[in-house]
Amino acid sequence: MLTRFTQAQLRPDSVAILDAQGAHTYESLWNKSSQVAQQLLGGRSDLGQECIAFMVSPGMNYVATLWGIWKAGGIAVPLCLSYPLPSLAYVIEDTQASALVLEPTFLDLLQDYALEKGIPHHLAEALQVGPVVATLPDIALDRGALILYTSGTTSLPKGVLSTHANLEAQISTLIAAWHWNSSDHTLCLLPLHHVHGLVNVVSCALSAGATLQFLHPFQADTVFSIFLEGKVNVFMAVPTIYFKLIAEFDSYSESKKEALRSCMKAFRLMVSGSAALPVSVMEKWKQVSGHTLLERYGMTEIGMAISNPYQGDRRAGYIGTPLPGVKVRLVDEENQEVASGLSGEIQIQGPGVFAKYWGKVEATAKAFTESGWFKTGDIAVVEEGYFRILGRDSIDIIKSGGYKISALEIEEVLRSHELVKDCAVVGIPNEEWGELVAAVLVPETELDLTELKHWLKERLPNYKSPKIYQILSDLPRNAMGKVVKNELKSIFSSTT
Ligand code: MLC
Ligand code: AMP
């Protein structure tokens, strides 16, 4: 049995999940996920690594579906809840999902599509009925477990396939490093189609036998109301969320601030990751909560790799040291390790590193060196033993609110608008969001931006849509004809 499931067997009566419907024990999670597995199998003995895509809101039904897919021998493909149909269709078709599991809310969006494509679709709730009589398959650790989509230096997102062994390694490393245990109670408000929410919060909490409370969607005032109930003791979020929480906290009366401060002081751990934590946010959060945030570094392809210590010096502006079991090196452009004190690309090896990009042999080969190191594309330096991120090797990757966004993907969509002759997308530094997506448009004729934004909503999720625009008659290009994006960034810097 997967180690992830051990605690569910050992502590049937403990509360595993708290969601909008109430409290659910580990026993009920175990039973519901077995029911999902049985229904997905439909009489077969093993799904044999078929991909099952699912669109279910954070909560008991989400986890029962995820575990059910794993128990039936399938590969889980969580869909982003804010994707419009074209983005969902891309993921479903790229994985060749054999079935869809939907929450009723998402039926309107996907039902016609699923019928047209002949993809069987189930309602998450309907899968959780009846006694379990089927024998569920044994799952070997080297089988595929999960595909998460990540944007990169190509215009189309890539599916990152992790095996069960990869996930077990990612989870066990964090449980040990951050002392997860069954007395923990964490609040999850992150999206569950990414490693931060899915692995670091949901999977670590449940593998440790802790209680996992869901809040969806994120709302700063509700987060604090939940904190005031005095149960949460572990909290993880992206820097933008800490920024928003600080703004909310500042709006409170002195007495409410004091009540919150004393409640947050009792937390065991507060973590930030997925994007650089501004030193100013770290310092303000310390004033708000009394906690020095533990900043760590990771990536969809590798799980978590580098972390500030649980006990010891957590340095502002630094991501820490390699986690146990993770090999990290810094290299130059020829993949040679750099001398001490020099900057280089972070490369990673270890049992948490993903198996492959789904259906992309060439992209997978390009992502690794000949000696098997995964190339992150992040540039760092080591100072007094701690890693500090300096930037990325590609200007086309934007991190906004913790989401990785490909400038090329957005440009491709914009260019398909009949009035857009040319365009370029860049990330503009912003304290709240890390970076803001900004687009420069060269229109064919006069272009109505309100109409364009409306048009984009049907083609891109909101978080990928540009937040600021500039209209130019031409894009600045170098002698090779390549758009000089740094020059475009400075146009925006003077306006933001
Ligand atoms: C929302 N908006 C964003 C955005 N999120 N814009 C840019 N970037 C984002 N990330 C926009 C919406 O489209 C909307 O625009 C406006 O902001 C308000 O939307 P909202 O839905 O009210 O925002 P909010 O709910 O406050 O969401 C903010 C957020 C969310 C920070 C909670 O972005 C979020 O959950 N981020 C976490 C992403 C994450 O988990 N990344 C981990 C990747 S894994 P408009 O125009 O409609 O008003 C990884 C590896 C690792 O990175 O190391 O962990
Ligand atoms: P994703 O592809 O969405 O998994 O995002 C991974 C990327 O997020 C990494 O390659 C980094 O660029 C960035 N990232 C994650 N954690 C941090 C951090 N603590 N500081 C800076 N960047 C980070």
- CA–CA distance, 179 with 76 (Å, rounded to integer): 27
Query: Which ligand 2 atom is at minimum distance from the Cα of 150?
Result: 2
Binding site membership of 401 for ligand 1 (Cβ less than 6 Å): yes
Q: Burial letters for 172-206: b for 16+ Cβ neighbours within 10 Å, e otherwise?
A: bbbbebbebeeebbbbbbbbbbbbbbbbbbbbbbb
Binding site membership of 295 for ligand 2 (Cβ less than 6 Å): yes
Q: How far is the CA of 46 from the centre of ligand 1 (A)?
A: 37
Q: In what order do the strands lie in the sheet with 121-123?
A: 121-123, 99-102, 51-55, 75-78, 144-150, 158-163, 356-357
Is 11 in contact with 110 (CB distance < 8 Å)?
A: no
Fold entry, domain 21-172:
Rossmann fold (3.40.50)
Which residue puts its alpha carbon closest to atom 3 of ligand 2? 404
One digit per residue, the tens of pLDDT, for the chain of length 496 reads: 899 999 999 999 999 999 999 999 999 999 999 999 999 999 999 999 999 999 999 999 999 999 999 999 999 999 999 999 999 999 999 999 999 999 999 999 999 999 999 999 999 999 999 999 999 999 999 999 999 999 877 778 999 999 999 999 999 999 999 999 999 999 999 999 999 999 999 999 999 999 999 999 999 999 999 999 999 999 999 999 999 999 999 999 999 999 999 999 999 999 999 999 999 999 999 999 999 999 999 999 999 999 999 999 999 999 999 999 999 999 999 999 999 999 999 999 999 999 999 999 999 999 999 999 999 999 999 999 999 999 999 999 999 999 999 999 999 999 999 999 999 999 999 999 999 999 999 999 999 999 999 999 999 999 999 999 999 999 999 989 899 999 999 888 755 5
Domain-wise residue ranges, the chain: 21-172, 202-351+367-392, 397-493
Diameter of the chain measured on Cα atoms: 69
- CA–CA distance, 265 with 253 (Å, rounded to integer): 18
Which residue puts its alpha carbon closest to atom 12 of ligand 2? 378
The half-sphere exposure of 270 on its side-chain side, counting CA atoms within 13 A, is 20
- CA–CA distance, 271 with 197 (Å, rounded to integer): 12
- CA–CA distance, 222 with 218 (Å, rounded to integer): 8
Is 411 in contact with 156 (CB distance < 8 Å)?
A: no
Using alpha carbons, select from 365, 347, 364, 237 the residue that is nearest to residue 302.
347
Q: Which two tokens stand for residue 382?
A: 């080591």
Secondary structure of residue 136 in the 3-state scheme: coil
Which residue puts its alpha carbon closest to atom 27 of ligand 1? 218
Binding site membership of 400 for ligand 2 (Cβ less than 6 Å): no
Our measurement of the distance from residue 65's CA atom to the centroid of its chain's CA atoms, rounded to an integer in Å, reads 18
Decide the pairing of beta strands 434-443 and 420-430: antiparallel
Q: How far is the CA of 54 from the centre of ligand 1 (A)?
A: 20
- Look at residue 495 in the predicted model and tell me its pLDDT: 52
166, 172, 176, 177: CA torsion to nearest 10: 30
Ligand 1: residue of 463, 465, 496 to mutate (most ligand atoms within 8 A of CB) is: 463
Burial class (CB within 10 angstroms; exposed 0-12, middle 13-18, buried 19+) of 159: buried
Ligand 1: residue of 218, 353, 453 to mutate (most ligand atoms within 8 A of CB) is: 218
H-type helices in 13-128, by residue range? 26-41, 60-71, 85-95, 107-117
Binding site membership of 376 for ligand 2 (Cβ less than 6 Å): yes
User: CB under 8 Å to 154, separation ≥6 — which residues?
Assistant: 363, 406, 408
- Look at residue 1 in the predicted model and tell me its pLDDT: 83
- Look at residue 152 in the predicted model and tell me its pLDDT: 78
Is 345 in contact with 376 (CB distance < 8 Å)?
A: yes
Class of domain 397-493: alpha beta
Comparing 21-172 with 202-351+367-392, is the CATH topology the same?
yes
On the question of a cis peptide bond just before residue 239, with omega within 30 degrees of 0, the verdict is no
CB-based contacts of 418-425 (< 8 A; 24+ apart in sequence): 418/444, 419/443, 419/444, 419/445, 419/447, 419/452, 420/444, 420/447, 420/452, 422/474, 422/475, 423/475, 424/475, 424/483, 424/485, 424/488, 425/398, 425/466
DSSP secondary structure of 269-307: EEEE-SS---HHHHHHHHHHHS---EEEEEETTTEEEEE
- CA–CA distance, 186 with 239 (Å, rounded to integer): 17
Give 202-351+367-392's CATH code, choosing from 3.40.50.12780, 3.60.21.10, 3.10.129.10, 3.40.50.300: 3.40.50.12780
DSSP secondary structure of 350-379: STTS--EETT-HHHHHHHB-TTS-EEEEEE
The one-letter amino acid code at 69 reads I
DSSP secondary structure of 220-263: HHHHHHHHHTT---EEEE-HHHHHHHHHHHHTS-HHHHHHHHHH
- Look at residue 155 in the predicted model and tell me its pLDDT: 76
- Look at residue 494 in the predicted model and tell me its pLDDT: 57
Secondary structure of residue 146 in the 3-state scheme: strand
Is 124 in contact with 103 (CB distance < 8 Å)?
A: yes
- CA–CA distance, 13 with 229 (Å, rounded to integer): 22
Binding site membership of 247 for ligand 1 (Cβ less than 6 Å): no
- Look at residue 154 in the predicted model and tell me its pLDDT: 74
Query: Which ligand 2 atom is at minimum distance from the Cα of 297?
Result: 16
- CA–CA distance, 158 with 383 (Å, rounded to integer): 33
Query: Which ligand 2 atom is at minimum distance from the Cα of 272?
Result: 19
- CA–CA distance, 224 with 428 (Å, rounded to integer): 30
Is pTM beyond 0.85 here? yes
- CA–CA distance, 452 with 8 (Å, rounded to integer): 49
